[in-house]
Amino acid sequence: MMRVGVVAALTVAGAEAASVSAATQAKGNPIRKVVTMLQMITKKIEKEGKDNEDLHEQFICECNKNQASLQKAIDTGAAAGSDQAAALAQGGEQQKQLVQDISDEKAARASAKETIATATSIREKEAKAFAAMKADSEANIASMTAAIKALRAGTGGSFLQTDAAKTLRDLVQTEQDRFSQNDREELSAFLQSGQSHSGTDEIIGMLEQLKETMSKDLADATATEEDAIKTFNELVAAKTKEFETLQASIEEKMTRLGELGVANAEMSNAGGDTADAGAADAKALADLKAACEKRQKEYEGEVKSQAEELLALADTIAMLNDDDALELFKKALPSAASSFMQMTASEAALRTRALALVHAAHKKHTKSDKLAFLALALHGKRKGFDKVVSLIDRMAAQLKVEQKMDNEKKDYCLAEFDKADDEKKALERKVSDSATAIMDAKETLASLVEEIKKIQAGVKELDTNVADATSQRQEENAVYKQTMAENVAAKALIEMAKNRMNKFYNPSLYKAAPKRELSEEDRIAVNMGGTAPPTPAPGGIAGTGIKVFMQVDAGVQKKGEMGAGVIAMMDLLLKDLDNQITVGETEEKNAQEDYETAMEDAKTERAANTKLLGEKMSAKAETDSALEQHTEDKASFTEQLQGNGQYIASLHADCDWLLEKFDQRKEARTDEIDAMLKAKDVLNGADYSLLQVTRAHLRGHQ
């Protein structure tokens, strides 16, 4: 605003007159006093403009510096966010790989354990069989030893009454393949009645040979058993070592999986914090740019207003200081009595008027120490105006500094309250989200545990069903093979019987047996005039070679009477057998196809269940890790929320009084500064009692 104190004085008539000495009037034109004051005001405005320009340059410098700092923080945060995202993606891949490795090693561990169990079961069966065989062999060898000893001692008759003789008799019956027909008969006769056709030495020789053979067999079986034990021990040791290695690896990878899960969660949180910080910095940068642009516009307005004010002052000085104007004022102001404006006043009057302004302001603000000190300075009789004006300038400057500090403190408090409240809301939201995540994780864990139990039970039930179906299929196949063998044998026998009947009843339908193929040795003998060896009896049923035994009724038929009927009956039987064979083959084929389909479906289902079980186990491990992380997050956020509450309480303790009294304190300082500057203007010659002029000394500080 333009300073109008002196300018207005030039336009107001009837100002209070004061005594001015004739000597003062004679020394020059009184209008020069007005010009001098206008020149002082011009210099003051120019100085204020220079000071304002310096302050604005510092402000712009700080704006640029803070903008560069915020931009750098934003760029750094963006780079860090990119690195964190890449690290998080890599950690996620590592986590997936660990889960897969753990699943594979668990499967290998289960396979090793199953191999040990299977080998142990087989070994136990073999050991049991060997123990039984060894016991039987040792008993048989002991019996033969006792028999040989008794025969050599001539006590064979008494030996036949012992348990050893009974064991030997059982051996001869069960081990018939070890003896020829004659030897078996000799031994059986001896063991039954003590008699032998070939003599005691022959019996002793046979027993010693059998004893030697059985001892050798026992030694071989013992060596085989020892080899089997060694192989079993080596297998168990290798699989046990493999199991322990896999167990250690699984535990180590489970630990790494947990640590990696925590690290990934922390990286994710860090990424979120970086993003939040980047967003906050971007908002702060935008706000700062807006504030700097606003201040720049305000400064440009102030510069324009200041230029207009200086132009007005310059024009006024030019008008009043013109030679013609000075000459006019000399003529218009011939003496002090006719002067329309008092240019000088006594120091006492000026002190009194300035003191009145200070007292008025002091009554309004009774606690102002600065107004009290200024009033005391104005009471002084010896202190010149220069010192009082200097004191006023210092006090006004100090009040402006204090007001600036209050402004900054208010802005700080409001900003911190907003920031703390935002942090409180964010932390409350994080605590709530963590609690929800914990509840969700627990529910997920319970669901996963139940699903894992169901899948394991399903796999066990499926394995049982597969075993039962396999056992049933084996039994059915065995019955089928037996039935088919019987049907094929019966058919072959009937066809052979029918052919034999045709030889007698229908010679034209008879099929001769294929010509016998002689061996090379037999052909040489025949070519040299010898005879072929007799054809061995085919054995089986009635010498037919068919080895399936059947009960048949034999009867004598007269030639020509019932032959045709019997052959017709055989044809019906053959047709029935063909039908049974066809039906049996079809049923067996269908049953086998159904079994294979069921096994393939079971295999597919088990593979799917096994895969699903692995996924559920991995999901459970991940959920366990997530639950632990959510629990830690909730504790951390709760602790931060408590710290935030304490910080808000400290802000209230530090800021509430200032925020409550800010307007009152600002108004009081404004009044004090206004009173001081009015007193200063009075000391410089202004008269507020007549002019009622308002001056904007606090321009830019309201």
Report pLDDT digits (tens) over 418-456. Answer: 988 998 999 899 999 999 999 998 999 899 899 999 998
Two tokens at 18?
Answer: 């004061």
At residue 420, the 3 state secondary structure works out as helix
How does 388-420 read in b/e, with b if 16+ C-beta sit within 10 Å?
bbebbeebbeebeeebeebeeebeebeebeeeb
Q: What is the pLDDT of residue 168?
A: 75
Determine, yes or no, domain membership for 452. Answer: no
Q: What is the pLDDT of residue 355?
A: 62
Determine, yes or no, domain membership for 297. Answer: yes
Question: pLDDT band at residue 219, thresholds of 50, 70 and 90?
Answer: very high
Specify the amino acid at residue 223: A
Cα–Cα–Cα angle for 599, 605, 608, rounded to 5 degrees: 140
Two tokens at 49?
Answer: 């403009």
C-alpha–C-alpha distance, residues 601 and 578, integer Å = 34
C-alpha–C-alpha distance, residues 475 and 166, integer Å = 38
C-alpha–C-alpha distance, residues 409 and 216, integer Å = 109
Identify the residue with better confidence: 535 or 601: 601
Average pLDDT, the chain: 76
Q: 69-78, 287-296, 522-531: lowest mean pLDDT where?
A: 522-531
pLDDT at position 598 over 60: yes
Tens digits of residue pLDDT in 663-683: 888 888 888 788 777 777 777
Identify the residue with better confidence: 130 or 360: 130
Nearest CA to 353 out of 8, 680, 603, 42 is that of 680
Two tokens at 282?
Answer: 């971007």
Question: pLDDT band at residue 4, thresholds of 50, 70 and 90?
Answer: very low
Please state the rounded mean pLDDT for residues 602-623. 88
Q: 142-156, 192-206, 282-296: lowest mean pLDDT where?
A: 192-206
Q: Assess contact for 286 and 92: CB atoms under 8 A.
A: no
Q: Which domain holds residue 90?
A: 5-344
Tens digits of residue pLDDT in 159-187: 777 777 777 777 777 776 666 677 667 67
pLDDT at position 543 over 60: no
Question: pLDDT band at residue 527, thresholds of 50, 70 and 90?
Answer: low
Question: pLDDT band at residue 226, thresholds of 50, 70 and 90?
Answer: very high
C-alpha–C-alpha distance, residues 591 and 483, integer Å = 15
At residue 475, the 3 state secondary structure works out as helix
C-alpha–C-alpha distance, residues 15 and 388, integer Å = 26
Q: 154-158, 305-309, 660-664: lowest mean pLDDT where?
A: 154-158
List all residues 6 or more positions away from 6 whose beta carbon is below 8 Å from its beta carbon: 34, 37, 38, 41, 685, 686
Determine, yes or no, domain membership for 282. Answer: yes
Identify the residue with better confidence: 224 or 350: 224
pLDDT at position 366 over 60: no
List all residues 6 or more positions away from 526 whose beta carbon is below 8 Å from its beta carbon: 518, 532
pLDDT at position 653 over 80: yes
List all residues 6 or more positions away from 263 whose beta carbon is below 8 Å from its beta carbon: 91
Placement of tokens 């020149």 in the chain: 39
Determine, yes or no, domain membership for 172. Answer: yes
Determine, yes or no, domain membership for 623. Answer: no
Determine, yes or no, domain membership for 489. Answer: no
Q: For the chain, give the number of residues.
A: 702
Nearest CA to 160 out of 179, 187, 199, 198 is that of 187
Question: pLDDT band at residue 84, thresholds of 50, 70 and 90?
Answer: confident
Q: What is the pLDDT of residue 491?
A: 79
At residue 404, the 3 state secondary structure works out as helix
Determine, yes or no, domain membership for 456. Answer: no
The structural domain count of the chain equals 1
Taking CB atoms within 8 Å and a gap of at least 24, the contacts of 7-16 are 7/38, 7/316, 8/691, 8/693, 9/34, 9/341, 9/686, 9/687, 9/691, 10/34, 10/341, 12/690, 12/691, 13/340, 14/340, 15/340, 15/341, 15/342, 15/687, 15/690, 16/342, 16/687, 16/689, 16/690
**Count of CB atoms situated within 10 Å of the CB of 667:** 12
Q: What are phi and psi of 365, to 5 degrees?
A: -125, 85
Placement of tokens 């010192």 in the chain: 387
Which CATH number fits the domain that encloses residue 37? Answer: 1.10.287
For residue 545, what is the DSSP state? S
- 32-41, 167-176, 202-211, 534-543: which is most confident: 202-211
C-alpha–C-alpha distance, residues 673 and 335, integer Å = 38
C-alpha–C-alpha distance, residues 226 and 232, integer Å = 10
C-alpha–C-alpha distance, residues 579 and 592, integer Å = 20
Q: Assess contact for 676 and 354: CB atoms under 8 A.
A: no
Determine, yes or no, domain membership for 639. Answer: no
List all residues 6 or more positions away from 262 whose beta carbon is below 8 Å from its beta carbon: 625, 628, 629
Please state the rounded mean pLDDT for residues 355-374. 59
Question: pLDDT band at residue 220, thresholds of 50, 70 and 90?
Answer: very high
C-alpha–C-alpha distance, residues 382 and 368, integer Å = 24
